[in-house]
Amino acid sequence: MNPKLSAVKGMNDILPPESARWEWFESQVRELMRAYGYRNVRTPIVEPTALFVRGIGEVTDIVEKEMYSFTDSLNGEALTLRPENTASLVRATIEHNLLYDGGKRLWYTGPMFRHERPQRGRYRQFHQVGAEALGFAGPDVDAELILMVRRLWTMLGLHGLRLEINCLGQAPERASHRAKLIAYFEAHAAQLDEDARRRLHSNPLRILDTKNPAMQELVQDAPRLLDELGEESRAHFEGLQALLRAAGQDFVVNPRLVRGLDYYNLSVFEWVSDQLGAQGTVCAGGRYDGLIEQIGGKPAPACGWALGIERVLDLLAQAERQPEAPAPDAYVVLAYTPALPRALQVAEELRAAGLAVLMHAGGGSLKSQMKKADASGARHALIFGEAEWLAGEVSVKSLRAGGEQQQRSVALQPASLLIDGLTGA
């Protein structure tokens, strides 16, 4: 016997009935994006490794430790399974010149890949939904994107998520802050852990995002980027705050919020939950005005967010927001084998009329088929027996309302004659 094969660790199957929650969530996302005028984009799962090295940042954890990268054995090209999708979407925008006639509002969904230690809310294959507004410079778009997520929480019936925001300023302001950070941490070198020492000169801003409890007091007293902001950056950040207040959206300014990707500038934000343990960030994003030029396009502003679908579904499960799995309108019970051709024809006509019909397969007694019909959740059973076949009829039995079995002719117009009985009209 061949050994049993299992899925790769940290890459999970999504099976019924859990997949019903995914389908319902995805339908809510599509409705959200339609309401805000965002158009769907689908990018390849595999991209050139250089895209992420250049876009995300060479000294980020993602590029240094987490990417699934390999060399194409046919042409030697360095390729990577996408660890995030903003860089891919920007690459597609540049490649297809999407901004030729002005700004674009775009969205995506799909699997991402990072080689991490699997734990609750953090998997090696995980799924994201993201919204990106490219070509718009003002804080109004930042506010729109944040309020978009608030509306999604309302649509999903989720409560208790809090919004944290910060401003990362522009490159000269970050450079000034970077110098002060390095000097500060060098003066406290004995308190730095291994990660902080490694990042001290390459990416000191990321030290502020440490989860090490022993370093929290040190980080709390570090120089603040907000103190380095110039007039334009401060005006943008104050404009965002004013718009959020006007919309009735509570928020906390978190000066330690830096995000894990190098391409961010100005506004950054996170929607956070206390119900997910260590992985409390459910949705995060911000402005990345330099990324389009960094990847090779003409300079253009941009802003966006991404949320982790698995984390949102975890919150839905905790809130007991389990949508019912879709059930068929009718289940076809085949009690007489010669009736199969007619049963198939009737089922097809009913489907063409917009009904969901599940055909029994695999044989079995009438009793066993009726049990499966009931277990399917169908509202009605369509019973094709010998007597029905001889009379050109089908027996319609209600499975949910205690209704009586009825005889319905299927000889002339089967769909129109049965629809009334199946829909309760």
Same domain, 300 and 338: no
Judge whether residue 249 has pLDDT over 60. Answer: yes
Same domain, 299 and 360: no
Judge whether residue 67 has pLDDT over 70. Answer: yes
Q: Buried b vs exposed e over 254-292: b needs ≥16 C-beta within 10 Å? A: eeebbbebbbbbbbbbbbbbeebeeebbbbbbbbbbbbb
Q: What's the CA gap between 355 and 348, in Å, rounded?
A: 9
Domain annotation covers residue 203: no
Judge whether residue 213 has pLDDT over 50. Answer: yes
What is the domain range of residue 347?
A: 330-423
The DSSP 8-state label assigned to residue 73 in this structure reads: T
Judge whether residue 425 has pLDDT over 60. Answer: no
Q: Report helix angle 139-156 to 18-36, nearest 10.
A: 140
Question: Please, which pLDDT band fits residue 412 given cuts at 50, 70 and 90?
Answer: very low
Q: Which one is predicted more confidently, 374 or 61?
A: 374
Paired strand residues for 110: 128
Q: 64-73, 161-170, 296-305, 411-420 — which is least confidently predicted?
A: 411-420
How many other C-beta atoms lie within 10 A of the C-beta of residue 49? 17
Same domain, 113 and 262: yes
Q: Which one is predicted more confidently, 219 or 24?
A: 24
Same domain, 304 and 357: no
Domain annotation covers residue 193: no
**Strand 78-81 versus strand 46-48 pairing type:** antiparallel
73: its two tokens? 């054995």
Amino acid 312: pLDDT: 95
Q: What angle do CA 41, 43, 48 make, to 5 degrees?
A: 150
75-79, long-range: CB within 8 Å, 24+ apart, which pairs?
77/48, 78/48, 78/49, 78/50, 79/46, 79/47, 79/48, 79/49
Q: How many helices (H) and strands (E) does the chain have?
A: 15, 16
Give the residue from 384, 374, 300 showing the smallest Cα distance to 339: 384
Same domain, 278 and 350: no
How many structural domains is the chain composed of? 2
Q: What angle do CA 73, 78, 80 make, to 5 degrees?
A: 105
Is the Cβ–Cβ distance between 276 and 282 less than 8 Å? yes
Same domain, 292 and 358: no
Amino acid 180: pLDDT: 86
Backbone angles phi, psi at 105, to 5 degrees: -110, 120
Q: 147-151, 251-255, 317-321 — which is least confidently predicted?
A: 317-321
Domain annotation covers residue 131: yes
